[in-house]
Chain A
Amino acid sequence: MREFDYRRAVDVSGALALLDADPEARFLGGGTNLVDLMKTGVERPARLVDVRELPLNGIESTDNGGLRIGATVTNSDLAAHPEVRRRYPALTQAVLAGASGQLRNMATVGGNLLQRTRCGYFADVTKPCNKRVPGSGCPAVEGEHHNHAILGASEHCVAVHPSDMGVALTAFDAVVSYETAHGPGELPLAEFYRPVGDTPHLETALPPGALITGVTLPPAPVAADSRYRKVRERASYAFAIGSIAAALGIEDGVVREVRLAFGAVASRPWRARTAERALTGAPANAETFAAAADAELAAAKPLPHNGYKVTLMRNLVVAVLTELAEEAAR
């Protein structure tokens, strides 16, 4: 870890000024990912601007019945918030499925969205990685990739996004707000992460020097009946090998509205819009759930050792939607 300057910001404009859009400077939130990456040499910032104490730690209802979540709200406070638990229970479940109690107390909403992949090649500076060193190659394609992407990847990078929270936020059409020295902006989460293509090192559509100030969840009554299921290689405290955020609204046995997003299958939380379209208006039963999953996963391009994820995600779609349908029927 190289030596670095440290500044603590007290307001958003001050934070932006301290960062000064310097490519060698980073905002420091909870530090749970950034400090780890600094220790392993993946990140070598010259200056940290501590934004943890910015007045962005509130969760408020919006006029239209959504929620606005400040960027420095900790994962724990987000998960525990009564309105999140009431209106978007899958978001609480997703956050609680991530990391550990200690890390959730430290990690922030903004930092969670910006966390880097846990690909073992990315995290090891002695190995090639296009995301870390553009042009150095992607050893995962031919090497270890049993927890890598099946959707939306490219030959240049097959890493997956590790966030659980982001999967639920994606299902609920969250919009990311940010500030820059030139003014504020917004990005729907669906457009927040850039396609991998041949630039896996360029991960988000945020302008240089931008500070995430919050996330807005539009009203989504269907989200009140939502669920997050995560599969991993131990029962807790592990990253997903596959996860799903789902919400299901049924009327007279027919799917009125459905939200589906997948985790650990792509470089970003994966909104399963093809499956959603196939399901909307269809009878709510296991056959249509499976057919919708197959439609979504038809685009999957598994590698030699991660083809199980196609089966896993199909099974998860059927299992979780079936559970939600059964609960709705009760």
Chain B
Amino acid sequence: MAPPPSSTSSAVTLKINGDKHTLSVDHRTTLLDALRERLDLTGTKKGCDQGQCGACTVLLDGRRAVACLQLAVAAEDREITTVEGLAEAGQLHPVQQAFLDLDGYQCGYCTPGQICSAVAVIEEHAAGWPSAVTDDVRPEVGAPPLTADEIRERMSGNLCRCGAYVSIVQAVARAAEARMSQEAAV
């Protein structure tokens, strides 16, 4: 079977923060560039464009991913959540609120990526995923407590050159505690 004639662009429909956007993309266009240069969703940042800094972290089908290495054409049919989609009805997401209150940033450029990553870290931990600093990864042992060291390891894919790590970790811990106490109350 001969493949159909080749093309270098495609029409795609991207589901972003609950809205559908149909656009024609050059196949070379990454999700990051589609967001920033085509859809005016500039909250997702470009720090290295090589998967080495985490500034472009978004949620793909609820899981964190770097948008710079995700081709836009390959993101069709996936649920994409960016930092612009976290607040609900003007109410900041608890992670956003914790970053604001605890000064979990300085220049703010890595911040959307840190926040999206933190949202996912809290979910991954709740799902029982171990990390590289988890002493015993066997399932019987269960998820480790979300200590500062666990947060640091899990957040390490998000570089912050201003050096705001200390307050970022405190913000993630506060948001995680809020989520856990909320669950305990339910």
Contacts and interface: CB of A to CB of B under 8 A. Distances in A.
Nearest to A93: B137
A97 B132 contact: yes
Interface in B40-94: 49-51, 54, 57, 60, 63-66, 69-71, 73-74
A102 B127 contact: no
Contacts of B3: 7, 17-18, 20, 47
Contact of B120 (A5, A96, A101, A106): A101
B64 A105 contact: yes
Contacts of A52: 74
Interface stretch (B26-34, B99-107, B166-174, B176-184): B26-34
B8 A85 contact: no
Nearest to B139: A82
A142 interface: no
Nearest to A32: B69
Given A20-B3, A101-B157, A35 B71 contact: yes
A105 B28 CA distance: 21
B145 to A, nearest CB: 17
Contact of B69 (A47, A92, A101, A106): A106
A192 interface: no
Nearest to B113: A102
A237 B74 contact: no
B134 to A, nearest CB: 8
A127 interface: no
Interface band, chain B = 35 or more
Contact of A5 (B8, B117, B130, B138): B8
Contacts of A96: 130-132, 134, 137
Contacts of B30: 35
A113 B144 CA distance: 29
Interface residues of A, number: 46
Contacts of B152: 236
Contacts of A46: 6
A48 interface: yes
A28 B49 CA distance: 18
B51 A101 contact: no
A5 B49 contact: no
Contacts of B74: 6, 8, 28, 31, 50, 52
Given A36-B69, A85-B139, A236 B132 contact: yes
A100 B156 contact: yes
A1 interface: yes
Contact of A86 (B26, B138, B153, B154): B138
A162 interface: no
Contacts of A5: 6-8, 27
Interface in B127-155: 127-132, 134, 136-140, 152-154
Contacts of B124: 76, 101
B147 to A, nearest CB: 15
Contacts of B50: 36, 39-40
A236 B134 CA distance: 13
Given A80-B129, A105-B64, A235-B156, A85 B137 contact: yes
Given A3-B27, A96-B132, A101 B8 contact: no
A85 B140 CA distance: 9
A79 interface: yes
A80 B1 contact: no
A6 B129 contact: no
A316 B150 CA distance: 24
B15 to A, nearest CB: 16
4 closest Cβ pairs, A-B complex: A100-B157, A5-B6, A236-B156, A3-B8
Given A50-B74, A101-B64, 20 more contacts: A1-B28, A3-B26, A4-B8, A6-B10, A6-B27, A8-B74, A17-B1, A28-B74, A31-B71, A36-B51, A39-B49, A48-B27, A52-B74, A76-B129, A80-B130, A101-B120, A101-B154, A102-B157, A103-B157, A235-B153
23 contacts: A3-B27, A4-B27, A5-B7, A6-B71, A6-B74, A7-B3, A31-B70, A31-B71, A32-B69, A35-B30, A40-B50, A50-B74, A80-B129, A85-B139, A92-B130, A92-B137, A96-B132, A100-B156, A101-B157, A102-B117, A105-B64, A237-B157, A237-B159
